[in-house]
Amino acid sequence: MIRADVSPEAALAAVKRHLGEAHPEIVMESTVFQTRIRDGLVRERLLALLSGFFGLLAALLATVGLYGVVSYLVAGRRSEIGIRVALGAHRGQVVGMVMRDAGKLVAAGVFIGAVLALAAGRGAGSLLFGLEPHDPTALAGATLLLTIIAAGTSFVPARRAARLDPMAALRCE
């Protein structure tokens, strides 16, 4: 093993030249250590890339699903929201009501997801290299990310509900 401060190609050429001068009968094979390490970790990097991709896909599905559920709930409560606005509810109150309902859904989902993640962590412990299956930082990060996604996703239907014309909502019934 040779360590050099020059490029691997230059060091290899110098070693081959000196070895060839001293012992021309020796056949030399060489590889760069960093290349061997990189080539040895291809599978792990591919698994990490796929895990990241599926994590992003799961976040996207959670976003679309939560948006759909909250929009459906707002559409179902359209007449109630129209009555509240007609009786003098402010836009902030309507947005707060919808966001609280969405928050309850997210809290239930995060709780159930955390319990399932902790249960599944036991089985996945052997597949995690350098990670703990019950990592509180990762669980807190995932919870925070889902909460931020939920708040952003729920705000769009909540804002739409706050802009609801009470007369149009009451005419639908």
Nearest Cα neighbor of 58 from 155, 146, 153 is 146
pLDDT mean over 65-70:
90
Please report the pLDDT score of residue 132 as a whole number.
73
Q: 167 pLDDT exceeds 90?
A: no
Long-range interactions of 146-150: CB distance < 8 A, separation 24+:
146/59, 146/62, 146/106, 146/109, 146/110, 146/113, 147/106, 147/110, 149/59, 149/62, 149/63, 149/66, 150/62, 150/66, 150/102, 150/103, 150/105, 150/106
> What is the rounded CA–CA span in Å between residue 68 and residue 62?
10
Residue labelled with tokens 């990241």:
52
Q: Is the pLDDT of residue 53 over 90?
A: yes
Strand segments, DSSP code E, in the chain are: none
Q: What is the Cβ-side half-sphere exposure of residue 58, based on CA atoms within 13 angstroms?
A: 10
Average pLDDT of span 58-83: 88
Report whether 118 contacts 30 (CB < 8 A): no
Mean pLDDT (the chain) is 84
Residue 129 has a pLDDT of 65
pLDDT tens-digit series, residues 147-157: 898 899 999 99
Pairwise CA distance, residues 53 & 135, whole Å: 20
pLDDT band with cut points at 50, 70 and 90 for residue 41: confident
Q: Give which of 170, 74, 154, 52 is closest to 109, Cα–Cα.
A: 154
Query: What mean pLDDT is predicted for residues 74-82?
Result: 86
Q: What is the pLDDT of residue 64?
A: 93
- Above pLDDT 70, what percent of the chain? 94
- Residue 78 tokens read as 């359209």
